[in-house]
Amino acid sequence: MIRVVVNGADGRMGSEVVKAVTADAELALVGGVSLTHVGEDIGVAAGMQALGISMGNNLAAVLDTCHPEVAVDFTTPDAIYENAEICLTKGVHMVVGTTGLTAVQRERLGKLAAANGVGLFIAPNFSIGAVLMMRFAAEAAPYLPNVEIIELHHNNKLDAPSGTAILTAERVAAARKQAGAAAAPAHTQESLRGARGATVEDIPVHSVRLPGYVAHQQVLFGGQGELLTLRHDSLDRKSFMPGVLLAIKKVSGHTGLTFGLERYL
Amino acid sequence: MIRVVVNGADGRMGSEVVKAVTADAELALVGGVSLTHVGEDIGVAAGMQALGISMGNNLAAVLDTCHPEVAVDFTTPDAIYENAEICLTKGVHMVVGTTGLTAVQRERLGKLAAANGVGLFIAPNFSIGAVLMMRFAAEAAPYLPNVEIIELHHNNKLDAPSGTAILTAERVAAARKQAGAAAAPAHTQESLRGARGATVEDIPVHSVRLPGYVAHQQVLFGGQGELLTLRHDSLDRKSFMPGVLLAIKKVSGHTGLTFGLERYL
Amino acid sequence: MIRVVVNGADGRMGSEVVKAVTADAELALVGGVSLTHVGEDIGVAAGMQALGISMGNNLAAVLDTCHPEVAVDFTTPDAIYENAEICLTKGVHMVVGTTGLTAVQRERLGKLAAANGVGLFIAPNFSIGAVLMMRFAAEAAPYLPNVEIIELHHNNKLDAPSGTAILTAERVAAARKQAGAAAAPAHTQESLRGARGATVEDIPVHSVRLPGYVAHQQVLFGGQGELLTLRHDSLDRKSFMPGVLLAIKKVSGHTGLTFGLERYL
Amino acid sequence: MIRVVVNGADGRMGSEVVKAVTADAELALVGGVSLTHVGEDIGVAAGMQALGISMGNNLAAVLDTCHPEVAVDFTTPDAIYENAEICLTKGVHMVVGTTGLTAVQRERLGKLAAANGVGLFIAPNFSIGAVLMMRFAAEAAPYLPNVEIIELHHNNKLDAPSGTAILTAERVAAARKQAGAAAAPAHTQESLRGARGATVEDIPVHSVRLPGYVAHQQVLFGGQGELLTLRHDSLDRKSFMPGVLLAIKKVSGHTGLTFGLERYL
């Protein structure tokens, strides 16, 4: 049994992780840290205490009390860097789902993990379907170099384009470049600004924001007389749990930084 | 038999109209005018002359020779206004598929038509499916006021957004306003310019341009826990012919300006 | 304030109705009846009792105690006929979301409602988007008579095709017939049985059942060189609540049977 | 320059191959064989003769006259086996797009090719997008073993399901089995026969046949709270030409049987 602490255990994602870890026979939930500054207490803390599981507001104290092997972090962009420093310094492997770390910060934390002999796993998306979509997009790009991306989310999502869309565009562009494949030139002029979307590495990205949507993305490839479309729909946060559980089980075997769930597939 | 002249008979659309009129038992093709300045002679002229049909380069001369009841125009934006003046002055009903007339020009030509006792029919889209999509979009808007439009065309299309997308947005906005329905506010900020598309009457419009596409449009409605999507795909110019034939048969019964195929359905 | 009792208040749909009625300023929740034989007590009963709302296991007793104007029923196919007899006889208007009533039973209950001077509203689908999809499908059928339906649901759905798909096919067929429009003949032979789907009124219906889906339907129209597709996605039971609330507010104004939410739009 | 003969040069596919080979700087069209028994002479024969290219009705005679290195065959199911015997025996490499060969026949012809030291390339689908769709479907299956296939074609297609759909299902099933992954059990009963489609290796396959469609396929994967969809659209026979040209250039380097375009990618 791998001993697990969930940081942000009463957040939207963290509370799903609490349930998923508890239900997994290979994992033992030994502690949680509250996300009280966001004020999303949704009954998890009380439930965990009823089960005899430590639940606190101070990450370092919870780690010292519970002695986990792995800490899972679903907190906030402003807290994640410090959280990671605390865990890695104490020799705890980390699985990070919190967004907001820059590439430079990831590298620095990766060195800290390596120096302490532990694994640091960071992923922008824990859904296996989304990871496959990105992999297939990169595989198709050398053969069908003309690509656009449409991502569709609920109207409460604060940013556009989504992190997954940007990452997809970067991987497609890299694969295309490595293969020496080039997109056909475009002959279109915008008569209204924004019609042709944002541009990430020469790839147009379009962001739809409407109530009703959850998290969806389409990668559109156009060729001579044919179209290839990859589409991923996340309809429930449960879709991220298989990826989180997989990462918890694998992280101790990979010292230093690992970025992206596809590295463990 | 209704006597028909096709102006632009050797253009892409015009040559399809020549075939469709010839195949229709209620219509008689009596003349054509070449689109020679575009240089798209695709064998139509020779074929028509073989059939004993007049084919010329001068619209007024062809009208005087052939005495049509209806002239169909698929020419170019810079020629259409003058073409219409010539036909309407000579008492010939017109079916116009050429784009480029402004609202002011349409009104002025409509008065000229009325003064000459003939019909002037203008449509931005002759596809029955596209007309139904626009009608349904306007019908849905009062109940589901949150809307975005995605239109997808081949990479040789010069403009973005498409005329059909703009017209759809205008109709949705008008229907929404008339019903007193308002879209939910958006909370999204663009981190890359253009991600949220162009805006037509507060409705985001996204334009995809890739080889392989022909002419496609989706109207996306988002509600509480649900989505309604209308999608139209034009895969062949043949899709416009039923609408063109319908307009040729109806135009003589509607003196003055009629705008949009839905007016004849 | 309209006084409302929810029959099946602790079921999946009923508990959503409890929340929606409670949140609506024009409605007062005055009682609930448990769906105990399904054993889905999800805390609603306790919550209602804490609010001082009657919650019982016997419909007739709850009606006598709470004196509602409208009863909403989301129970089970084997119970609904008797439930309706009890409510209507006691002079209580009914909104029925429970499936399983035959056309004959609906007519018989409609007469009972009329004899007691109350309204009986029954709908196979309370989602406004789904109702619009069905309406548009019927409107398009005269112009594009070639139609197929694909419905996609989670793999725990017991029946195929869905009731909404069957109803859509019936409406499309009726509209097509009334307009004198006929579908083009098919030239396809199945090499494997079932490939061409089930047939409802000559319209092929295909049922997909996969984990991850919630409740989705596409109506596909094919014409000369063009396609028109209507798509509805229900991603959350919340999507049914606006329709349920609308029906509760309208039912007292329509004595006798009303079938289908589109009658109130 | 590779010397190429096209067998079936005046058929729908063959005449596209004639154009594509002629336009390719690395290939030389040296002869064609007419598909006269199908009676689809569409002007190719006359055009080829004008160019000084041999065009005959007898395959063996054309091969003896023109000395090609590669023969491309787009003829008919009843002719292809004998055509292949003639070419391979004469030491000519073959690219076969004609359908109808059984697995046993393919093996037998492969041995004949090997014995004569030439390559035999056979593909059920020459579209690069379709090949990628099949590859990705097989790659996704171990992670998302719940799959259904929808294929959509025009109403003149004679068979259902399509060959590509069957092949996709077989590959998905093989990949799933090799990975030891199993689909979740289904709980659905058909109330109308055919609703759940045809079954190929336990995978439901649904065939839509409507005017307006050309050749389209969707592979639907369902997981926990998520969906992954692969979609391919062939809108024009031109989409097959890049694959045909690739095969012509590669076939001489692969003695014996090669099956499927993905083997050359």
- pLDDT averaged over every residue in chain A: 92
Three-state SS string over B74-130 comes to: CCCCCCHHHHHHHHHHCCCEEEECCCCCCHHHHHHHHHHHHHCCCEEEECCCCCHHH
- Closest C-alpha to A119, from A147, A87, A145, A97: A87
Sign of the C-alpha dihedral computed for residues D46, D51, D53 and D54 taken in this order? positive
From the number of C-beta atoms within 10 Å of its C-beta (0-12, 13-18, 19+), residue A50 rates as exposed
Residues of chain D with Cβ-Cβ distance to B212 below 8 Å are: 233, 235, 239
Query: Model confidence at A29, in pLDDT bands (50, 70, 90)?
Result: very high
- Predicted local confidence at residue B12, as pLDDT: 85
Categorise residue C59: left if φ over 0, alpha if ψ from -120 to 50, beta otherwise.
Answer: alpha
Whole-Å CA distances, B195 to A208, B149, B168, B208: 8, 13, 21, 12
Give pLDDT, residue A36: 66
- Do residues A209 and A154 touch, judged by C-beta distance below 8 A? yes
pTM to 2 decimal places: 0.89
**Are B115 and B131 a contacting pair, CB within 8 Å?**
no
Whether residue A105 sits in one domain with residue A49: yes
**Where does A37-162 have alpha helices with state H?**
44-50, 59-66, 80-89, 103-115, 128-140
**How many alpha carbons lie under 13 Å from residue C123 in its C-beta half-sphere?**
26
pLDDT of residue D31: 92
User: Which residues in D18-45 are b (16+ Cβ under 10 Å) and which e?
Assistant: bebbbebeebebbbbbbbeeeeeeeebb
Q: Are C164 and C132 in contact (CB under 8 A)?
A: no
Q: DSSP alpha helices (H): ranges in chain C?
A: 12-23, 44-50, 59-66, 80-89, 103-115, 128-140, 163-178, 241-250
Residue A47 has pLDDT above 70, yes or no: no
Q: CATH number of the domain that D61 lies in?
A: 3.40.50.720
Q: For residue D173, give the 3-state DSSP assignment.
A: helix
Helix residue spans in C141-252 (DSSP H): 163-178, 241-250
> CA D201 to CA D208: how far, in whole Å?
20
What pLDDT, on a 0 to 100 scale, did the predictor assign at position A118?
A: 98
CA pair distance A253, A59, nearest whole angstrom:
24
Is the peptide bond between C77 and the residue preceding it cis, with omega within 30 degrees of 0?
A: no
* pLDDT tens sequence across A93-125: 999 999 889 999 999 999 999 999 999 999 988
The percent of residues above 70 in pLDDT, for chain A, comes to 94
Asked if the Cβ–Cβ distance from A207 to B189 is below 8 Å, we say no
Residue B6 phi, psi (nearest 5): -110, 120
In this complex, the chains that touch B, judged by 3 or more CB pairs closer than 8 A, are A, C, D
Q: What is the extent of the structural domain holding A190?
A: 128-234
CATH at C219: 3.30.360.10
Preceding amide of A185 cis, omega within 30: no
pLDDT for the residue B83: 96
Residue A226, both tokens: 């044919």
According to DSSP, the residues that pair with C226 across neighbouring strands are B234, C223
How does residue C37 score in pLDDT terms, banded at 50, 70 and 90? very low
B216 touches chain A (CB under 8 A): no
Quick one: how far is CA D92 from the chain centroid?
Answer: 20
Task: Give the number of B-C residue pairs with CB atoms closer than 8 Å.
Answer: 116
Is the predicted pLDDT of residue C29 greater than 70, yes or no? yes
Residue A115: how many other CB atoms lie within 10 Å: 12
pLDDT at C50 over 70: no
C35 with C89, same domain?
Answer: yes
Return the residue in D133, D216, D236, D241 with the most chain B beta carbons within 10 A, the one to mutate for interface testing.
D236
What ipTM does the predicted assembly reach?
0.84
Q: Assign residue A234 a region: left if phi > 0, alpha if psi is -120 to 50, beta otherwise?
A: beta
Ranges of beta strands (E only) in B111-245 are 119-122, 146-153, 159-160, 189-190, 198-200, 203-209, 215-223, 226-234
The distance of D114 to chain A (nearest Cα, Å) reads 30
Residue D95: which of D121, D69, D77, D119 has the closest Cα? D121
Q: For the segment A160-215, what is each residue's pLDDT rounded down to a tens digit?
A: 999 899 999 999 999 999 999 999 887 889 999 999 999 999 999 999 999 999 99
Asked if residue C47 has pLDDT above 70, the reply is no
Position C170 pLDDT exceeds 80: yes
Residue of B nearest to D215 (CA): B235
Q: Would you state the torsion angle of the CA atoms of residues D35, D39, D41, D46, taken in this order, to the nearest 10 degrees?
A: 70
Q: Report the distance separating Cα C24 and Cα C9, nearest Å.
A: 16
Across D3-9, average pLDDT: 95
At residue A216, φ and ψ (nearest 5 deg) are -140, 150
Q: What is the pLDDT of residue C155?
A: 93
The distance of Cα A191 from the centroid of its chain, to the nearest Å, equals 36
What's the pLDDT band for C46 if we cut at 50, 70, 90?
low
Q: How far is CA A44 from CA A51, A56, A83, in A?
A: 11, 12, 21
Select from A196, A226, A227, A235 the residue whose CB has the most chain B CBs within 10 Å, as the one to mutate to test that interface.
A196
Question: Residues B217, B150: contact at Cβ < 8 Å?
Answer: yes
Q: Based on the fold, state whether residues A144 and A207 are members of the same structural domain.
A: yes
Q: Give the SS3 label for residue A43.
A: coil
Phi and psi angles of residue A35, each rounded to the nearest 5 degrees, phi first: -100, 45
Instruction: Tell whether the model's pLDDT for residue D47 goes beyond 80.
Output: no
Residues whose CB falls within 8 Å of the CB of residue D191, separated by 6 or more in sequence, listed in order? C159, C160, C161
- For each of chain B's 265 residues, which pLDDT tens digit applies? 999 999 999 888 999 999 999 999 999 999 999 886 444 444 566 667 666 677 778 899 999 999 999 999 999 888 999 999 999 999 999 999 998 899 999 999 999 999 999 999 999 889 999 999 999 999 999 999 999 999 999 998 888 999 899 999 999 999 999 999 999 887 889 999 999 999 999 999 999 999 999 999 999 999 999 999 999 999 998 999 999 999 999 999 999 999 999 899 8
Is D249 designated active site? no
CA distance D129 to D217: 11
Q: What are the residues whose beta carbons fall under 8 Å from the beta carbon of B102, sequence distance 6 or more?
A: none
The pLDDT score that the predictor gives to residue C10 is: 86
Specify whether D218 is located in the same domain as D248.
no
DSSP letter at B36 equals G
CA distance D219 to chain B (A): 20
Residue D70's φ and ψ, nearest 5 degrees, are: -130, 135
Backbone angles phi, psi at C207, to 5 degrees: -115, 115
**How far apart, in Å, are the Cα atoms of C179 and each of A199, B239, C169, C172, D243?**
48, 21, 15, 11, 46
The verdict on A37 and A89 lying in the same domain is yes
Does residue D110 share a domain with residue D172?
no
Give the other-Cβ count within 10 Å of C30's Cβ.
Answer: 21
Number of domains in chain B: 2
pLDDT in tens, D180-227: 999 988 788 999 999 999 999 999 999 999 999 999 999 999 999 999
C213 plus C86 within the same structural domain? no
pLDDT given for residue B45 in this prediction: 61
Whether the CB-CB separation of C74 and C8 falls below 8 Å is answered with yes
Work out the angle between the directed axes of helices C128-140 and C163-178 (0-180°, nearest 10): 30
Averaged pLDDT score across all residues of chain D? 92
3-state secondary structure of C30: strand
Nearest CA among A74, A79, A22 for reference residue A47 = A22
In angstroms, how far is CA B164 from the centroid of its own chain?
Answer: 8
Tell me the residue type at D6: V
User: What is the CA C85 to chain-centroid distance, rounded?
Assistant: 19
For chain C, list the contacting chains (3+ Cβ pairs, <8 Å): A, B, D
- Looking at the partner chain, which of A227, A233, A242 has a beta carbon nearest the beta carbon of D129? A227
Between B139 and A46, name the one with better pLDDT: B139
User: What percent of chain A has pLDDT above 90?
Assistant: 80
Q: Using an 8 Å Cβ cutoff, are A45 and A37 in contact? A: no
Question: C261-265, D20-24, D64-68, D127-131: which range is least confident on average?
Answer: C261-265
Q: What is the pLDDT of residues C196-247, one digit of tens each?
A: 999 999 999 999 999 999 999 999 999 999 999 999 999 998 999 999 999 9
Portion 184-213 of D in contact with C at CB < 8 A:
184-200, 204-213
B57-109, pLDDT tens digit by residue?
Answer: 889 999 999 999 999 999 988 899 999 999 999 999 999 999 889 999 999 99
Do C113 and C25 share a structural domain?
yes
Q: Which of D232, D233, D237 to mutate to test the interface with B (most CBs of B within 10 A)?
A: D233
**pLDDT in the model for residue A50:** 63
User: Quick one: average pLDDT of A52-68?
Assistant: 87
pLDDT value for C158: 85
DSSP element (H, E) containing D243: helix D241-250
Angle at A145 between CA A141 and CA A151, to 5 degrees: 70
Q: What is the mean pLDDT of residues A35-61?
A: 67
Q: Which residue has the tokens 């800490």?
A: A71
Q: Choose among D136, D228, D233: nearest Cβ to A227.
A: D233
Are B188 and B61 part of one and the same domain? no
What is the spatial distance between Cα D77 and Cα D36, in angstroms, rounded to a whole number?
Answer: 15
User: Does residue A53 surpass a pLDDT of 80?
Assistant: no
Band (pLDDT 50/70/90 cuts) for residue C12 is confident
**Same domain, yes or no: C80 and C99:** yes
Number of helices followed by number of strands (H, E) in chain B: 8, 14
8 A C-beta contact, residue D5 and residue D63: yes
Average pLDDT over residues A17-22: 94
Asked if A157 is an active-site residue, the reply is yes
Q: Are residues A32 and A83 in the same domain?
A: yes
Dist. CA A89–CA A118, nearest whole Å: 9
Tell if the CB–CB gap between C235 and B223 is shorter than 8 Å: no
Q: Phi then psi for C223, rounded to 5 degrees?
A: -130, -165
Q: Which is the catalytic residue, given D67, D93, D111, D157?
A: D157
Is residue C122 a contact partner of residue C88, using CB atoms and an 8 Å limit? Answer: no
What is the arithmetic mean of pLDDT over D51-79? Answer: 89
Q: How high is the pLDDT of residue D43?
A: 54
Contact in structure between C249 and C232 (CB atoms under 8 Å): no
CA dist., res. A241 & res. A95, Å (int): 12
**Shared-domain flag, residues D93 and D181:** no
The answer to whether the annotation marks D13 as part of a ligand binding site is yes
The tens digit of pLDDT for each residue in D135-164 reads: 999 999 999 999 999 999 999 888 899 989
Distance from CA of B31 to the nearest CA of A (A): 34
Dist CA D165 CA D148 (whole Å): 10
Q: Would you tell me how many other CB atoms lie within 10 Å of the CB of residue B154?
A: 17
**Mean pLDDT calculated for residue range C64-83:** 94
